[in-house]
């Protein structure tokens, strides 16, 4: 079985935050998750993550999904992989991919194609490389007719070697048995007194083993983040890559200012994404929608021909033809039915809104089930919490809830029920009834004149 070892022990001091660098996010996901996803996409599921600084945060994030080992002292990349030797020793006959947890743009094709070359050439080690227009600072790949001679660090390279544009990405394939052997032969005889994984290449060659290099077509596998500016560049690059994917698939962007779409989001043909729109998680949007401006949808399913304007929705469903916004907040576990209208300053929480129902403005609907073709007047509140427990309201089809109605849950309004404006409903109302609560109106004539005279 092929394995992967992901190096995720870096602190990233220049990030100026108390967390491991691979947990910093690119488009809403930790860089480590990008690397794991690439492995999973390439059918590599036997993964070991080498943690170090604040390693408990890595464990908490992974939540037992994969093996972790701890690098108590940061003594170089070779030392980091040495911590995974017990994991590697479980199956020595396959191959092992070593990746950096803070280089998020490694991709499935690069992993698969490099493994194919690694196996075809019977290499002990295959370095994954990329070609850069400006390779300054990177280790150069010195090739031979049938493999590579080694990796030369920039500071040690001759002028001729510095002209080489093929550089080491920091990712490698090894025969697992050879990797275990080579790790045991690393020394720290260098200025930094560290054990470098790059030295495994020269050791393998000196022992007559084959070493090669796979040049990836994706130069972005090199990209990483050493500080916040680098992280911003990664986010900007990833953001535009996702937007370009959707453009190719027929999604419209009139302007990309403030548009952030996580890579897991799906968007249908002909949908228009307006400025300052953020789409997160497993959100899936249908065809012909207008999403935004100034909107957020997270883990939502949005149907076809939906208008979602200046609104926020979380873990909810909005069905075909619904019109939501502006200034709407849809909280988790809600469903907005087809052709429903949810308008200005409405909050919906854990509720089902029936098709063609209108909640035009200024209402709170919580823990409720509302039928179809219901009208909810301005100022309506479902009083769902008594300070101890939440209760539900049920409103039947074709009902008309007057402005400033308070519905005290638990409560059921039947089919076709009307409530008069200003009514507080405290008990169930049968089908086709009118609920009206009007106390005696008292008029105190001359009150304001007396009040103003008293202030003189």
Q: Which residue has the tokens 């499935």?
A: 108
Separation of alpha carbons 264 and 244, rounded Å: 14
Separation of alpha carbons 233 and 241, rounded Å: 12
* 403 contacts 422 by C-beta, under 8 angstroms: yes
Which residues 6+ apart lie within 8 Å of 312 measured at CB? 295, 296, 297, 328, 329, 330
- Neighbour-count burial of 217, counting CB atoms closer than 10 A to its CB (0-12 exposed, 13-18 middle, 19+ buried): exposed
335-341 long-range Cβ contacts below 8 angstroms, 24+ apart: 337/372, 338/303
Separation of alpha carbons 426 and 62, rounded Å: 48
Tell me the DSSP string of 127-151: EEEEE-S--TTSPEEEEETTEEEEE
Query: For residue 115, how many other CB atoms are within 10 A of its CB?
Result: 19
User: What's phi and psi for 347, nearest 5 deg?
Assistant: -120, 130
Separation of alpha carbons 236 and 191, rounded Å: 36
Q: Would you call 361 a catalytic residue per the annotation?
A: yes
Active-site residue, selected from the candidate residues 79, 118, 246, 361: 361
Separation of alpha carbons 279 and 355, rounded Å: 24
**Catalytic positions:** 361
């Amino acid at each position: 079985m092929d394995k992967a070892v992901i190096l995720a022990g870096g602190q990233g001091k220049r990030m100026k935050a108390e967390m491991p660098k691979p947990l910093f996010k690119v488009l809403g996901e930790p860089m480590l998750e990008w690397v794991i996803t690439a492995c999973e996409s390439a059918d590599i599921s036997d993964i070991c993550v080498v943690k170090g600084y604040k390693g408990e945060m890595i464990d908490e994030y992974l939540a037992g999904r994969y093996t972790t080992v701890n690098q108590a002292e940061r003594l170089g990349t070779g030392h980091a992989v040495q911590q995974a030797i017990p994991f590697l020793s479980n199956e020595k006959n396959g191959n092992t991919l070593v990746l950096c947890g803070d280089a998020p743009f490694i991709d499935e094709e690069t992993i698969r194609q490099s493994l194919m070359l690694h196996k075809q050439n019977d290499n002990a080690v295959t370095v994954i490389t990329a070609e850069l227009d400006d390779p300054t600072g990177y280790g150069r790949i010195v090739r031979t007719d049938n493999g590579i001679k080694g990796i030369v660090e920039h500071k040690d390279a001759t002028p001729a070697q510095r002209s080489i544009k093929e550089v080491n990405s920091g990712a490698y394939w090894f025969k697992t048995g050879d990797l275990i052997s080579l790790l045991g032969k690393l020394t720290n005889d260098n200025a930094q007194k560290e054990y470098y994984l790059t030295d495994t290449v020269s050791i393998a060659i000196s022992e007559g083993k084959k070493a090669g290099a796979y040049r990836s077509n994706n130069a972005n596998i090199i990209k990483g983040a050493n500080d916040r500016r680098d992280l911003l560049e990664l986010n900007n690059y990833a953001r535009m890559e996702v937007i370009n994917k959707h453009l190719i698939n027929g999604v419209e962007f009139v302007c990309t200012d403030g548009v952030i779409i996580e890579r897991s989001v799906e968007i249908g043909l002909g949908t228009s994404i307006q400025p300052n729109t953020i789409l997160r998680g497993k959100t899936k949007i249908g065809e012909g929608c207008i999403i935004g401006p100034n909107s957020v949808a997270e883990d939502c399913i949005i149907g076809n021909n939906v208008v979602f304007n200046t609104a926020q929705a979380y873990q909810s469903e909005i069905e075909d033809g619904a019109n939501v916004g502006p200034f709407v907040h849809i909280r988790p576990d809600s469903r907005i039915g087809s052709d429903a209208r949810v308008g200005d300053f409405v909050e919906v929480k854990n509720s089902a809104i029936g098709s063609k129902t209108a909640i035009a403005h200024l209402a709170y609907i919580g823990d409720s089930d509302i039928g179809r073709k219901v009208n909810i007047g301005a100022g309506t509140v479902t009083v769902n919490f008594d300070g101890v427990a939440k209760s539900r309201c049920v409103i039947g089809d074709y009902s008309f809830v007057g402005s400033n109605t308070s519905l005290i849950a638990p409560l059921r309004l039947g089919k076709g029920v009307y409530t008069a404006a200003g009514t507080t409903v405290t008990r169930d109302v049968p089908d086709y009834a009118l609920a009206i609560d009007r106390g005696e109106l008292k008029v105190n004539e001359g009150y304001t004149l007396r009040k103003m005279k008293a202030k003189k």
